[in-house]
Structure 1
Amino acid sequence: MKAKDVMSQHVVTLSPGNSIAHAAQIMLDNTVSGLPVIDDDGTMVGIVTEGDLIDRMELGHGPAPELSTQQARDDFIKSHSWRVQDVMSRPVVTVNEETTIEEIASLFSSRKIKRVPVIREGHLVGVVSRADLIGIIARSKPSLIAWGNEALCLSIAARLREMLHPSICPTVTVIEGTIQLRGTIRDENERRVIRVIVDGVPGAGRVLDQMQLGKPEDPR
């Protein structure tokens, strides 16, 4: 799945000359935490987020004792200017319509951002937000693949061997669709990991957990 499949195409934007109060009101009215900034040519030049507005003078943020450093001057401008162009973040992390949702999710995690504009030939065509990705999870459904007992058992065992050390791989049997897990685990965290792996195998259904706490034997 790609950005073009999940992006919101109706995007509320700002102009560089808009006021900070206008930007804040637009965020509230549209229940969004960030707004792209578009110039007169339709080119995206920045983005204003809640984080850009949190250190404003209206919230009690005052100027530094003196404005002798570049950082102090930058902070003063960002906290006191009434124009969007002085407060917006830039450069902006963007993607194109063919960027995969896996890549977008990775960007959200690594860059600590909540949304990413989608650009086509320099122009904004949509936005993908965290909510758009969460929607994919909400709409997902378990696999409807029907497995026979033996095929399901072999598939689960193979997945466990692929992802776990041999010393903690449980014994798997499947009887009338019920998956039975037996063996020794070191702690409840290992139990949860095994359950997640099993649940992720297409066709997995009811699980009968008969694994015991203890010290697994090392097969070496």
Structure 2
Amino acid sequence: MRFENRLSRDIMTRDVVTVPMNAPIKHIADLLSRKRISSVVVTDSVGEAMGVISDTDILKVIGKGNWEKMTAENIMTHNLEFVKPTSTLTEAAGIMGKKHIHRLLVFSEGGVGASHRPIGILSASDIVREAARE
């Protein structure tokens, strides 16, 4: 299948790693390290996405007073950018480029499951890797 026709659902990571809003930053840093990932989704008590924390977000606070006592809620990015599973990789790449971001959450289509519960995550490296296959 040609790159232009590939969909987000074709290459997204389906096992989204989540943490609660009160998760300590130190715990999140350990989780990123153990799972060898670069971000986690922050969820509320019912599993809806509230933010994202990347390794870069953690780097920004390391060494600042009492950073070990900070929680996910303190440093998460609140502006969630997302695509639907049927969005093309070209559309996703366009959003990432325009917004200067490295990952997009994938939310289910309207009417299928909870609309703000991530079903996947799509990273810039996923798209670049797929483009290289062409």
- The verdict on a shared fold, with TM-score over 0.5 as the criterion, is yes
Residue 143 of structure 1 corresponds to which residue in structure 2? none
Native 8 Å contact 2:8 2:84 kept in 1:
yes
Aligned mates of 2:41, 2:120 — CA distance in 1: 10
Residue 54 of structure 2 corresponds to which residue in structure 1? 49
Residue 132 of structure 1 corresponds to which residue in structure 2? 126
Q: Using structure 2 for the length normalisation, give the TM-score.
A: 0.82
Structure number with greater Rg is 1
What pairs with 1:86-125 in structure 2 (closer than 5 Å)? 86-120=74-108, 121-125=115-119
Residue 111 of structure 2 corresponds to which residue in structure 1? none
Flag structure 2 segments of 5+ consecutive residues without an equivalent. Answer: 1-5, 109-114
TM-align CA RMSD: 1.9
Residue 33 of structure 1 corresponds to which residue in structure 2? 38
What pairs with 1:1-20 in structure 2 (closer than 5 Å)? 1-20=6-25
Name the % identity: 23
| Residue 24 of structure 1, CA deviation | 0.7
SS in 1 for 2:77: coil
SS in 2 for 1:35: strand
Q: Using structure 1 for the length normalisation, give the TM-score.
A: 0.52
Aligned mates of 1:95, 1:109 — CA distance in 2: 14
Q: Which has the higher contact order (CA 8 A, sep 6+)?
A: 2
| Residue 51 of structure 1, CA deviation | 2.5
SS in 2 for 1:14: strand
